[in-house]
Structure 1
Amino acid sequence: MFSDLIVHAEDSDGSFLLIEAAEYLPPWLNPDNAENRVLIYQNDIHIITPELVDLEDSLEICDAVKLVFHNSEKTCGCIEIQNAIKRKLTEYPQKIKDNMHMAIVSLPVEIAAILKLRPSIISAIVNSYCNLDALEAKNCRNIEYTNCVSTQIQITKYLYAMLMHTRLIKNVTHNIPETDKKAQLGFKLTCGYYVIMNQYVKDIFSSSEYKKYISNLSKTGYFKDNIEGSKDYKMLLEKAKSYFCSMECPLNTHIFNEISHLKSDKLFEETKEALIQCDDSKLYEDDDDWLNISPDELNNILISKYGKCTTINNEDLDSAQNITSALTNFLKKSSDFEGIERIGEDVEDNKIDFDAEQFTMCVEKLLNIATSNVEIELSEDSEDDDDNDEICQEIEKELSSKLCSVPNSVDNKTVINNLVQSMKEEGLSGPSSNVLKTIDIRKTDLLDSDDDD
């Protein structure tokens, strides 16, 4: 609609648009260096490359906008990135309506009026309740849950599911039946509301959170042994305050101010009166059966999003050999702190011969050495080579005797069976499935949740 508009979109996860195109991003791009480098211009995603601005250099948003405007051909992302993101966007705006849920809840008339006047506040209230800490939960046990009215609220399905599946605070003074869904939801929302209203402190630098924040900075050496009140100390303190102001719950402060403004408006009292006189029989709510999903429906959703996986037959020794070969290839690689980066490699083009029997023997040998009861003492002061030779011979004899007991019946099928069993025992994720991901084999390729065989 606006051909000259350049948009910068971020949330708490950073450049969230790139999540949809993760498989097609250039190797240099990661969450640590994506700040201010991803923008939207003329219906395309634009990425400022290291050729335009070095990754070591800081990039201000104003400079980023100018770079995209004057170098749009160079910054425009590849067609795969564009298509991946636009596929997600084709579901909108209809998906916004599909993702909404209408519910009837029992709320104190004050909160009901606020949500009627400003429905968007529901998001902050739900998140406040679902993220209660122990102290906040304790304070919510005695809140006032009276003078309630039934009212409709429109909420996203995601927030509704969060609210439904977050447990009700225990030991509350109000006896709310488990069968009364309206009251259960209403009480949770009431708790979230009062948490927001009680969290607000006009002077955030006198709050307990700020005092704890400064204390933690002191313990970790942030102030570099500077004396409190000194010039350097004050400079570091100002930086810490600036960071605290930008990060410490600015949303709840904004919500508090908005609620306070609503309550001072004449329309607030009129809305309360209208809610009290409202006919409950005219209220309606959506069916929430969508919260329950069968295994077949889940499989269909996964297939539609990720495609149908071809399950590897455990009887197929060729497949087993490919996996053991790929694992061996993986183990021979070197890595840095970010792990092993696979660029332009094809597992099938890098086949190596792998002797599963020999591999198992090596593992057995290592285990037997580690658990051996033979104690060998080497004196650091000894310079007698003959003694050392004798010790080495004893070690060789011990290894030979141990290796004679190693079974010779290990095959590739056993390797696969062991991997499958490991993945079943480790749950959703663990060492086995993580290693297999690195060689381009997903857990679902080996393990079907509906078939234990």
Structure 2
Amino acid sequence: MATVRDVLENVREDDFVEYFLFSLDPAVDFGNLLTRVTELADQQSQGYIWQKDDFKLIHRNPSDFPPINDNQEHLPSHLYGVTHYGENIEDEWFIVHLLLHLTKNVPGLIARVVDSDGEFLLIEAADHLPSWADPDVCEQRVYLFRNEVHVIPPTKPDETITVAEALGKIRTSSQTTKAPDLIQKAIETRVNGYPDKIQDLLHQTHAFVPAGVAALLRAKPSLIAPAVVAFCHRDPIDIRACRAMRYFPPETRVMSQVKMTRCLYAMLLHHKYQPDRRTGWHLPPQNSSNYMAHLIGVKLACGFEILVSQCKGKDTPDDLENDKGWHRYRQSLMDKGYFKDLLEGCKEHQRLESEAKEYYRNHTMYSQPTTGQAILDLLNSLEIDVEGMRREAESLPPPDDDSWMEISADDLDKILAERYGSKPKPNSSVSDISSHLNTFLNHVSGLEGVEHPKLSKDGVPLRPKRTNKKTKNTESSTSNCDDDNNRISMDQEAFSCAVNNILDFSVPEDSWDLESEESGMSSYEDEVEMDLSRKKLGRNNDGRKKSQSELKQYMDQMDRELSTTTLGQSFIKKQPKAMEDSFSDIENFEPVDIDMNALKNILASYQSQMGGAGPASNLLGPMGVRLDETD
């Protein structure tokens, strides 16, 4: 059963990015390295507003963090950090930029970064990965070194690698481990623009907030993030705190300019909230020019009030009842089976919970930071000039345009084209779909499933190149001539015969009902006696009993049931050729047009998708067939 540390190492929210910094210098002083790296990171992230956690590193000695189990590697000494990015995925990629910058400016520094999906750098470059790359093989093979991505290829299939082995390969042969240019370009494009891009991700707006909130944001602008997150993730207990507004009363409100990320601004606007009038929060009419500033102000004030209220009762170290981070962590422990389904309140359950609380308190990187107490301490140290703030409000610059929150269909297509490439023009007509479908069905399937045929420059599926079977067999026989035990021989005729005997499948002869003109289905009233007589047949020449094929029985039964319906008339028919030998002796015979019926059903399915994803587009896409509304 997992111990407290086992669970702690594996239990965290899914919105995390984890990073490791190693040094190729065995004699490096990690204390000085930590100071140097922290200074560089702070310079690059100046003015950046983190969604939940900022970029923070600690030094990990191997003795302090031994392997959890026998299968885990004993990592060398390194710098370690973990950041929860919440709803803003941009934090994760800004950390990638920081790591690239650090490896560029600190000699011998190698970084590894992963998230809940694993090696997410390769996910970003998925279109350019080598053929051997899959999640299991790629684990612990992706690193950042000298501002470049390094991917260590395996020397044999399904080979695993340790971090120490990977660091050794980068140390000795960094040119061979350097990722191809297309992978480098994909990662570079994703983090391009930093640190100048920081200002582009910010949004400034007006907010009618209590003077205490305005003073806090002026002294420490990064407090906007926890306030917005606290408001958007509020619960009934938090709402009770918003009714009192003990620390941020509405009577002191002033118009102020606040700065936040676009992600925080969108979150704040899209969370509906109607304040209780009894608390003194009065909003102007919705058609008022100041309505949005008042609404943003009350939401921010509630967010700060929630944060401060959560730090109440934390003067005693044993009280975690108001700590939401602890409650989320405790629920994660329960989901992982840490409490062993013990009855809550029993002695063993209390012991396990006490150990979990102790570990939670001692590992602040995993716990919820005490932002509320920091806000309260800062608020008590500030001198708030309400009248001066009101005078300044008369000359505030206009707020930023928030039209970026609305996007048209053309803008969306442009963004997708920049992100994933331009949309390919339809290169298939209706007449081409049948041939594409036949090519796809005739393509080779691998052991793991269907192998989609590769497309040519024109979007046409290509058949895989095959070597001459005789030549291949000859080479194989020659290479294995010294090892008879590795030879595999198979009698193809015997194998085919054995399969046929197992299936006992025999295709019945074609028999057409000359009296039928539409359905092509025969009457089966007289065939019942024929089937019974067939079942009474004796043994064949070898003395083996001749049994009726189950598949044949199903086919006969299905034909008997369909013979009384008009299903046969629903298929599209094609006229036979003038002198076609196959049907020259049959009058009024109209064979089913298989290709046209398949095409009809595929187009009907595509139309029902209404432009979205569905079975038709998923089937036609890998075959190189792309349709639009005009097809």
Using structure 1 for the length normalisation, give the TM-score. 0.68
Q: 2:604 aligns with which of 399, 404, 418?
A: 418
Asked whether the equivalents of residues 68 and 75 of structure 1 are also in contact (C-alpha less than 8 Å), the reply is yes
Q: Give the counterpart letter for 2:571 in structure 1.
A: N
Provide the residue aligned with 2:293 in structure 1.
Answer: 182
Provide the residue aligned with 1:399 in structure 2.
Answer: 558
Q: Distance in 2 between matches of 1:146 and 1:452?
A: 62
Measured after TM superposition, the shift of residue 120 of structure 1 is 1.7
Cα deviations across residues 372-402 of structure 1 (Å, max 9, x unaligned)? xxxxxxxxxxxxx98x979999755431134
Q: Distance in 1 between matches of 2:318 and 2:616?
A: 47
Confirm or deny that 1:162 pairs with 2:348: no
* Change beyond 3 A, Cα 1:112–1:431: farther
Higher mean C-alpha displacement, 212-221 vs 315-324: 212-221
* Change beyond 3 A, Cα 1:84–1:212: closer
* Change beyond 3 A, Cα 1:197–1:429: farther
Confirm or deny that 1:126 pairs with 2:289: no
Q: Give the counterpart letter for 1:262 in structure 2.
A: L
Measured after TM superposition, the shift of residue 329 of structure 1 is 6.9
Measured after TM superposition, the shift of residue 11 of structure 1 is 5.8
Measured after TM superposition, the shift of residue 142 of structure 1 is 5.3
Provide the residue aligned with 1:408 in structure 2.
Answer: 571
Confirm or deny that 1:194 pairs with 2:305: yes
SS at match of 1:206: coil
Asked whether the equivalents of residues 102 and 153 of structure 1 are also in contact (C-alpha less than 8 Å), the reply is yes
Q: How does 1:108-123 map to 2 (within 5 A)?
A: 108-123=210-225
Q: Distance in 1 between matches of 2:252 and 2:365?
A: 33
Q: How does 1:252-263 map to 2 (within 5 A)?
A: 252-263=368-379
Q: How does 1:173-322 map to 2 (within 5 A)?
A: 173=277, 174-176=281-283, 177-179=285-287, 180-200=291-311, 202=314, 203=317, 206-207=320-321, 210=326, 214=330, 217=333, 221-224=337-340, 238=355, 242=359, 250=367, 252-265=368-381, 268-269=382-383, 274-312=388-426, 315-319=429-433, 321-322=435-436
Provide the residue aligned with 1:147 in structure 2.
Answer: 252
Which has the bigger relative contact order, CA under 8 A and spacing at least 6?
Answer: 1
Provide the residue aligned with 1:372 in structure 2.
Answer: none
Provide the residue aligned with 1:23 in structure 2.
Answer: 127
Q: How does 1:24-103 map to 2 (within 5 A)?
A: 24-26=128-130, 37-50=141-154, 59=163, 68-103=170-205
**Identity in percent:** 27
Asked whether the equivalents of residues 324 and 415 of structure 1 are also in contact (C-alpha less than 8 Å), the reply is no
Measured after TM superposition, the shift of residue 169 of structure 1 is 1.9
SS at match of 1:411: helix
Structure 1, unaligned runs of 5 or more: 352-384
Q: Distance in 2 between matches of 1:300 and 1:105?
A: 33
Paired residues in the alignment total 399
SS at match of 1:293: coil
Cα deviations across residues 92-111 of structure 1 (Å, max 9, x unaligned)? 34432222221111111111
Q: Distance in 2 between matches of 1:331 and 1:108?
A: 69
Provide the residue aligned with 2:80 in structure 1.
Answer: none
Measured after TM superposition, the shift of residue 69 of structure 1 is 3.8
Asked whether the equivalents of residues 207 and 297 of structure 2 are also in contact (C-alpha less than 8 Å), the reply is yes
Measured after TM superposition, the shift of residue 280 of structure 1 is 2.4
SS at match of 2:206: strand
Provide the residue aligned with 2:461 in structure 1.
Answer: 348
Q: Give the counterpart letter for 1:178 in structure 2.
A: Q
SS at match of 2:461: helix
Q: Distance in 2 between matches of 1:419 and 1:35?
A: 40
Provide the residue aligned with 2:207 in structure 1.
Answer: 105
Q: Give the counterpart letter for 1:168 in structure 2.
A: K
* Change beyond 3 A, Cα 1:418–1:344: closer
Cα deviations across residues 378-430 of structure 1 (Å, max 9, x unaligned)? xxxxxxx98x9799997554311344434332534313322313422xx8555
Asked whether the equivalents of residues 231 and 299 of structure 2 are also in contact (C-alpha less than 8 Å), the reply is yes
SS at match of 1:185: helix
Q: Distance in 2 between matches of 1:255 and 1:163?
A: 19
Q: Distance in 1 between matches of 2:355 and 2:120?
A: 31
Measured after TM superposition, the shift of residue 2 of structure 1 is 1.2
Q: Give the counterpart letter for 2:414 in structure 1.
A: N
Measured after TM superposition, the shift of residue 125 of structure 1 is 2.2
The alignment's C-alpha RMSD in Å is 4.7
* Change beyond 3 A, Cα 1:238–1:291: same
- Structure of greater Rg: 2
Q: Distance in 2 between matches of 1:325 and 1:135?
A: 63
* Change beyond 3 A, Cα 1:257–1:171: closer
Measured after TM superposition, the shift of residue 301 of structure 1 is 2.6
